[in-house]
Amino acid sequence: MRFKSVKGMQDILPEAEPYWRQVTATVQDTARRFGFEQISTPVLESTALFSRGVGEDTDIVSKEMYTFTDRAREGEQGESLTLRPEFTAGVMRAYIEHGMSSLPQPQKLYSVGPLFRREKPQKGRYRQLHQFNAEIIGSADPVADFEILLLSYSIYMELGLKNLRFQINSTGDPDCKPKYVAALKEYLAPYADKLAPTDRDRLQRNPLRVLDSKERETLPYLENAPHIIDYLNDDCRNHFHELLGYLDAAGIAYSINHRLVRGLDYYTKTVFELWGEGLGAQAALCGGGRYDGLVELLGGSPTPGVGFATGLERIIMSMQDAGIQPATLERPDYFIAYHGEAAKREAVKLITTLRMAGVGARVAFGGRSLKAQLKDADRMRCRYVLIIGEDELAGHTVALRDLSKSEQSSLPMDQVVNALKQRGHMAECEKRVD
Ligand code: AMP
């Protein structure tokens, strides 16, 4: 029996490491420059946190969660647990649980890690995905929304991604949103039978979601749908225009997208996505918005918040599509080869000393001939081989061979570490051409 990875879940192989390093370092360094600090919450949370915080009627909660009942203690019922499908609910839970509202506000927090959604796998859509997520908790100021948009924008610019445009909308607040929902329902009611079946269902359960439908049957009826920004109350309208003013001032491109509502229930006021070129239907590099009611919904005191999340796989795909090469990674440039058992013991001693001194090196494995070891060194693209043979053993020396020039010199064993430290001991990984 041969095992395969679970459907929709991918292995990230060593060849992808340069991309992952670059992307994870860039998101974290940029966030720190903006004054964000990292918070890491558990991958498992109580199921109720998501059904409450994300919303029962959302696709994520109603069909995409990996949920199981934990083993129960005798006489008790097992707790229902879920692999986190998004970060925000867990971060809010931690904010409340650790009394972070008594710290200076707003709290600017970021997280990076895996999430799990049982979606239909396709290009750019996986069941285990990785996100970078950032939140500003405790400020209702549109400048906080702007900071979140600017952070996402800065990350992609830093990575060399261009041709990006924000899609932006406001979903109002509990005062004005219901008025719009009623107007939308009234507008769509005469066409209900003609909508795609999923949208007919959404029209009953979560009418706003019909707006971002991708179903061909539904699209014609959305063209003349009322716009939510025409229903905003003064507070929400002012908030929206202030944010747009900041984007204009910063010269950041955006389009007001009347059909953008985002899939999660908790959004209030601002919602946005950043679209890149070349990702087809999966064009959204990131998405986010404001969620002023969420902390209260999860049992905390009323606290505004705004955040966004970006998929790391999507960023990497965009970099690859745009031909952006990640920085090369270092690899050990030295390889220790030996001849005979006594020399092998010396080699082990030498590799230990080198590693303790922070010098990057590999040592030969297996009792292969010296010739085979040199071949291995070349295959592993180590430029220098430190050879311990019988002569070296007797003379307490090491032969240093430069494979690129076929030159060889001799070093006293007790001077090897210093000599290598002076030469620089790690090479940049070149792209492997086999
Ligand atoms: P969301 O958490 O749904 O708002 O999505 C935020 C971002 O995460 C998206 O713009 C994508 O970049 C990424 N994303 C969401 N779902 C997936 C998925 N199933 N696979 C890969 N990336 C995803």
Residues 147 and 285 in one domain: yes
Band the pLDDT of 429: cuts 50, 70, 90.
very low
Residues 365 and 306 in one domain: no
pLDDT of residue 124 exceeding 70: yes
Q: Which of 155-169, 215-229, 245-259, 280-294 has the lowest mean pLDDT?
A: 280-294
Band the pLDDT of 209: cuts 50, 70, 90.
confident
Residues 128 and 275 in one domain: yes
Q: Where residue 395 sits, what CATH number does that domain have?
A: 3.40.50.800
Residues 165 and 50 in one domain: yes
Q: Which of 117, 267, 313, 314 to mutate to test the pocket of ligand 1 (most atoms within 8 A of CB)?
A: 314
Is ligand 1 within 6 A of the CB of residue 294? no
For the chain, the domain total comes to 2
Distance 244 CA to ligand 1 centre (A): 24
Domain boundary among 283, 298, 321: 321
Residues 294 and 150 in one domain: yes
Q: Which of 67-71, 95-99, 121-125, 323-327 has the lowest mean pLDDT?
A: 121-125
Residues 351 and 269 in one domain: no
Is residue 284 one of the residues assigned to a domain?
yes
Is residue 192 one of the residues assigned to a domain?
no
Question: Which has more pLDDT, 139 or 404?
Answer: 139
Q: Which of 173-177, 274-278, 321-325, 427-431 has the lowest mean pLDDT?
A: 427-431
Domain boundary among 321, 354, 380: 321
Is residue 202 one of the residues assigned to a domain?
no
pLDDT of residue 280 exceeding 80: no
Q: Which of 22-31, 277-286, 379-388 has the lowest mean pLDDT?
A: 277-286
- Type of residue found at 191: Y
Q: Which of 313, 315, 316, 321 to mutate to test the pocket of ligand 1 (most atoms within 8 A of CB)?
A: 313
Is residue 243 one of the residues assigned to a domain?
no
Residues 316 and 402 in one domain: no
Closest Cα to atom 8 of ligand 1: 311
Confidence at residue 1, expressed as pLDDT on a 0 to 100 scale = 87
Percent pLDDT > 70 in the chain is 96
Is ligand 1 within 6 A of the CB of residue 343? no
Is ligand 1 within 6 A of the CB of residue 309? yes
Convert the pLDDT of each residue in 31-59 to its tens digit. 999 999 999 999 999 999 999 988 887 88
Percent pLDDT > 90 in the chain is 80
Ligand 1 atom closest to residue 286's alpha carbon, by position in its atom list: 10
Is residue 4 one of the residues assigned to a domain?
no
Is ligand 1 within 6 A of the CB of residue 95? no
Distance of alpha carbon 342 from the chain centroid: 49
Is ligand 1 within 6 A of the CB of residue 167? no
Alpha-carbon span 181 to 286, nearest angstrom: 25
Q: What is the extent of the structural domain holding 88?
A: 14-172+252-321
Is residue 8 one of the residues assigned to a domain?
no
ω into 190 cis (within 30 of 0): no
Mean pLDDT, residues 290-305 taken together: 95
Is ligand 1 within 6 A of the CB of residue 304? no
pLDDT of residue 114 exceeding 60: yes
Distance 310 CA to ligand 1 centre (A): 6
Q: Which among 356, 342, 336, 334 is positioned nearest to 426, based on CA atoms?
A: 334
Mean pLDDT, residues 241-265 taken together: 92
Alpha-carbon span 325 to 314, nearest angstrom: 15
pLDDT of residue 312 exceeding 90: yes
Alpha-carbon span 159 to 134, nearest angstrom: 17
Confidence at residue 21, expressed as pLDDT on a 0 to 100 scale = 97
Residues 144 and 30 in one domain: yes
What H or E segment, with its residue span, contains residue 386? strand 384-388
Distance 158 CA to ligand 1 centre (A): 20
Alpha-carbon span 229 to 139, nearest angstrom: 22
Residues 90 and 128 in one domain: yes
Confidence at residue 425, expressed as pLDDT on a 0 to 100 scale = 53
Band the pLDDT of 424: cuts 50, 70, 90.
low
Please tell me whether the overall predicted TM-score, pTM, comes out greater than 0.85 for this model. yes
Confidence at residue 427, expressed as pLDDT on a 0 to 100 scale = 57
Distance 37 CA to ligand 1 centre (A): 22
Is residue 207 one of the residues assigned to a domain?
no
Confidence at residue 262, expressed as pLDDT on a 0 to 100 scale = 80
Assigned token pair, 303: 């606290």
Convert the pLDDT of each residue in 334-373 to its tens digit. 999 999 999 999 999 999 999 999 899 999 998 899 999 9
Is residue 310 one of the residues assigned to a domain?
yes
Alpha-carbon span 265 to 56, nearest angstrom: 9
Burial of 296 (0-12, 13-18, 19+ CB in 10 A): middle
Ligand 1 atom closest to residue 310's alpha carbon, by position in its atom list: 7
pLDDT of residue 201 exceeding 50: yes
Residues 37 and 147 in one domain: yes
Confidence at residue 371, expressed as pLDDT on a 0 to 100 scale = 93
23 φ, ψ (degrees, to nearest 5): -70, -45
Distance 261 CA to ligand 1 centre (A): 15
Angle ∠(63,65,67) on CA atoms, nearest 5: 120
> What residues contact residue 269 under an 8 Å CB cut-off, 6+ apart?
145, 170, 171, 172, 173, 236, 239, 240, 289, 290, 292
Sheet of 384-388: strands edge to edge? 361-363, 334-338, 384-388, 397-402, 407-412
Confidence at residue 90, expressed as pLDDT on a 0 to 100 scale = 97
Confidence at residue 178, expressed as pLDDT on a 0 to 100 scale = 93
Alpha-carbon span 77 to 71, nearest angstrom: 8
Is ligand 1 within 6 A of the CB of residue 199? no
Assigned token pair, 61: 């909660």
Mean pLDDT, residues 214-234 taken together: 94
110 DSSP β-pair partners: 38, 134
Alpha-carbon span 306 to 313, nearest angstrom: 23
Residues 284 and 379 in one domain: no
Convert the pLDDT of each residue in 132-185 to its tens digit. 999 999 999 999 999 999 999 999 999 999 888 899 999 999 999 999 999 999
What's the mean per-residue pLDDT of the chain?
92
Residues 166 and 308 in one domain: yes
Burial of 220 (0-12, 13-18, 19+ CB in 10 A): exposed
Is ligand 1 within 6 A of the CB of residue 312? no
Confidence at residue 431, expressed as pLDDT on a 0 to 100 scale = 36
Is ligand 1 within 6 A of the CB of residue 351? no
Question: Which has more pLDDT, 426 or 242?
Answer: 242
Closest Cα to atom 13 of ligand 1: 311
Q: Where residue 285 sits, what CATH number does that domain have?
A: 3.30.930.10
Band the pLDDT of 205: cuts 50, 70, 90.
confident
What H or E segment, with its residue span, contains residue 394? helix 390-395
DSSP-assigned letter for residue 122: B
Distance 212 CA to ligand 1 centre (A): 15
